[in-house]
Each structure stands twice: as C-alpha cells, then as structure tokens.
Amino acid sequence: MTALTITAVEVFVVKAPLDTPFAFSQGWVHQRAATLVRISTESGIQGWGEAFAQGLEPPEIAAAALSHALVPRLLGQDALSPGVLWQSMYNQTRDHGRKGSVMSAISAVDIALWDICGKHLGVPISTLLGGAHRQSVQPYATGFYRLVGQGESQRLAEESVAHKEAGFTAMKVKLGFGVRDDIAVMESIAAALNDPAVELMVDTNHAYGRRDAIRLGHALAGHDLRWYEEPVVPEDVEGYAQLRKTLNVPIAGGENEHSGYGFNTLFRADALDIAQPDLGSCGGFTAAKDILGMAQANGVMVNPHVWGTAIAQAASLQFIASIPIAHHSLFAAEPILEYDVSSHPFRRELIAEPWQMHDGRVAIPSRPGLGIEINMETIEQYQTQTQRHVLS
Ligand code: CA
C-alpha cells in the first residue's frame, strides 16, 4: 500500500423536490438530484466527484453502476493513475455501458481522482491539464424554463430583462415547445431586451425532426444567435451535419454524447461547430481532454455543458481554464460558463464558498484539485441513499 492507495469509496444519492416543477421540451422536472462520490486514500487526501443526473434521470442508476461494477476495480488501486483506472472501468463496462448513466458513474470517479491528484501535488486541476489559459470566465444564463408550457412569451421576456439586470450579457433560451411558440418567444425576448450587446443562444433539447429544426433555424436567422443547441436527437448525426450545411447559425451539441469514442463519431461527420461535453457524464477529465484534443484538430470549439451541482460546476471551471482558443485571433471567442439559474439546493449550499459573478465574470478557483470545500451537512440533509465501500 502507498500513500495514495484508494481505501474507501462512498456514494451519496442526493435529491431535493422542487417547490415549483418546471418543463423543458422533454418533460417536467420535479426534483434536482445527483450521485456524488467521495474517494479516500491512505494518506487522508479525499477527492469529490459527481455523476450528472439529467432532469429526468434517476440518480440511483449511476449509484448502482458505481457500487456493483466500478468500486470493486478501485479499492486498493493507486489514485494517482486516473488514466489507467479510466481504461479499467471503461473496459469492464464496455458491453453494457459506453453511454448514459454508466458513463456518468465513470465520470464521477474520474473527477474525484483528478481532485485527489491536484490536492496531492498542491495544484489546481487546470495545471495538470497543461495550465490555465484564463483565470475567469464569462457566465451565460441558462433559464427560460416553462411553468405552463406554451404561451409564456411575455413572462419569458420579463425573465430576460431580469438576467440582463443581474449582469448577464449572454443567455440561452429553452425552446422546443412548437415552432410557432418558439418564434413568438424569441420575438418577445428580443423586443424586451432591445440590446444588440446581449448575446442569445437557443436550445430545443432535440424536440424536432430535421424539417422543423431547419424551419426554426431559418425563422431565427435575424437574431444573430451565438449557437443553436441540440437541434435534433443525438442519434441523428447526419441530421446535425445537414443542419450545419443548411443554416448559417453555429450548431452545438454533445451533452448527450459520451467519451472520445462518441465524440469522434460527431467530428468525423462534421456534425458540430461547438462541442459540449459535460464533465459529469462524458467520462470526466480523462475523456474531456481527449475530446478537446480531437475538437481542436477538427476546428471545433469546445464549450462544456454543466447543469449539475457545485461539484460539476467546479469541474467545468477547471476544464474551461484549460481550453485553448479554437480559432486564434486578437478578439477570438472564448469559452463561456453555463450558469443555470433554476432552483438547485446543491449549488450555493453544497460548497463553503459559492460562485459569485463580479463585473460579469466568475473567477476560476486556483486552490488545489477542484478548489472547493464540501458542506457535509447539505449532503446529510438531502441524501436518500449512502453506500460505503471500504478496503478490507
Ligand atoms: Ca442543453
């Protein structure tokens, strides 16, 4: 046994019902949830990770994958070898994993291992990834969820003004509630903002087939969108490529794709202008750095997706620090931070020093590892399932 031998893995399922359920194009979200992982080593250094739970994803699936498939391959192993352990976990689960909750479970372990590596070496994870290209990042507001469904353009316009008054200069609008309703929402928001300095993006969460996805893209051509996200289902790689050829707006996607293998399929098909791996489901830092390298070589920007807890946000911030400019110029586009403004108790309450926006930017932590300190009281308050696996 060495100082960094893995001696325990704990899995916490946390859930919080929402006072007011909200909808995105795929359904109603009634709770926020996550599968959190704490890995302990002989030295006493501990790392935290998160398996992202989508709005409709039961967090117990990733928890089961962790306990039954992954943890037996981790206890007694060297935590300083995240790449070796990633391959071990991936090979073990290839025939029943590769995507979805199993990859989210691998992601949680991987994030925790990189957290341990950073803490052991006394450097932030961005240093391990090659260094920080930036010390802060511009956040964009992700919101505009629905309380009724259709016909909410006036309320959503008021929400856009509130985001602007809160200091956001970029915001992403949830669409996918019918092409006509979507167009009305965007017209209402543009009229209320009446400010070309505010950048807008749209996200339909793959609500449409190719024909309506193209129809919507043409109808929104006047909004000078920064990107059009998940226009069609993630399986329709050719559809993505067709939209890129047909529309002028940059096409974004990838939050429902996984690992370098999955993203390679998208890059080979010229499916994306902007790749959006989620650290909590793409396979953690080990997969994200592979995806970043391939994206860079293919002329694709990387802008990570994040909708999870403060742990996933911390992972996203470290990764964003490490992303080089995709298309270099003096005034090149920088990656921006997805900043979900919907209610989520596992953000501000989960870490000792919650993120703050100062002068329109969020600072990237420079402390070792993920650079965060977890409030265990918050986990104890919301945990519905806890599994402790200890090296015997
Ligand atoms: Ca999205």
Measured in Å, residue 130 CA sits from the centre of ligand 1 at 28
Q: Which amino acid is it at 273?
A: D
- Ligand 1 centroid to 228 CA: how many Å? 10
Tens-place pLDDT, residues 271-323:
999 999 999 999 999 999 999 999 999 999 999 999 999 999 999 999 999 99
Q: Give the pair of three-digit tokens for residue 130.
A: 């090659």
Q: Two tokens at 190?
A: 């543009």
Q: Is 305 a catalytic residue?
A: yes
Task: Let me know if residue 313 belongs to a domain.
Answer: yes
- In a domain, residue 187? The reply is yes
Q: Is-above-0.85 flag for pTM?
A: yes
One domain, residues 198 and 233:
yes
- CATH number of the domain within which 383 lies: 3.30.390.10
Radius of gyration, alpha carbons of the chain:
20
Name the residues around ion ligand 1, CB cutoff 5 A: 203
By C-alpha distance, which of 346, 324, 345 is closest to 335? 324
Residue 176 near residue 25 (C-beta atoms within 8 A): yes
User: Is 1 within the bounds of a domain?
Assistant: no
Same domain? For 79 and 186 the reply is: no
Tell me how far the alpha carbon of residue 86 lies from the centroid of ligand 1, in angstroms: 26
The sheet with strand 27-41 has its strands ordered as: 46-52, 27-41, 6-24, 383-390
260 & 154 share domain: yes
| CA of residue 177 to ligand 1 center, whole Å | 14
Distance, in Å, from the CA atom of 374 to the CA atom of 365, rounded to the nearest integer, reads: 14
Q: Are residues 154 and 46 part of one domain?
A: no
Determine what percent of the chain is predicted with pLDDT higher than 90: 96
CA 120 to centroid of ligand 1, rounded, Å: 34
């998208």: which residue's tokens? Answer: 266
User: If you measure from the C-alpha of residue 81 to the centroid of ligand 1, how many angstroms do you get, rounded to a whole number?
Assistant: 32
The structure tokens listed for 377 are 């009281």
CA of 7 to the centre of ligand 1 (A): 37
Q: 174 - beta bridge partners?
A: 203
Give the CATH number, domain containing residue 213: 3.20.20.120
Q: What local confidence, expressed as pLDDT, does residue 345 receive?
A: 84
Considering the domain architecture, whether residues 194 and 105 belong to the same structural domain is answered as: no
Residue 390 to residue 379: CA distance in whole angstroms: 20
Residue position matching structure tokens 């929104």: 220
Structural domains counted in the chain:
2
Measure 77 CA to ligand 1 centroid, in angstroms.
Answer: 35
For residue range 181-232, what is the model confidence (pLDDT) as tens digits? 999 999 999 999 999 999 999 999 999 999 999 999 999 999 999 999 999 9
Q: What is the dihedral of CA 339, 177, 229, 321, to 10 degrees?
A: 10
Asked if residue 102 belongs to a domain, the reply is: yes
Q: Which residue, 201, 153, 147, 205, is CA-closest to 176?
A: 205
Based on the domain organization, do 215 and 344 belong to the same domain? yes
368 found inside a domain: no
Q: Which DSSP state fits 214?
A: H
Domain presence at residue 216: yes
251 within some domain? yes
φ/ψ bin of 24: left (φ > 0), alpha (ψ from -120 to 50), beta (otherwise): beta
Share the mean pLDDT of the chain. 97
**Annotated catalytic residue: which of 305, 327, 358, 389?**
305
One-letter amino acid at 84 equals V
Spatial CA neighbour of 248 closest among 276, 271, 228, 274: 228
277 C-alpha vs ligand 1 centroid, how far in Å? 11
Domain hosting residue 383, numbered range: 6-125+375-390
φ and ψ at 128, to 5 degrees? Answer: -65, -25
Question: Which tokens belong to 221?
Answer: 């051509």
The pLDDT tens digits for 90-148 are: 999 999 999 999 999 999 999 999 999 999 999 999 999 999 999 999 999 999 999 99
pLDDT, tens only, 135-164:
999 999 999 999 999 999 999 999 999 999
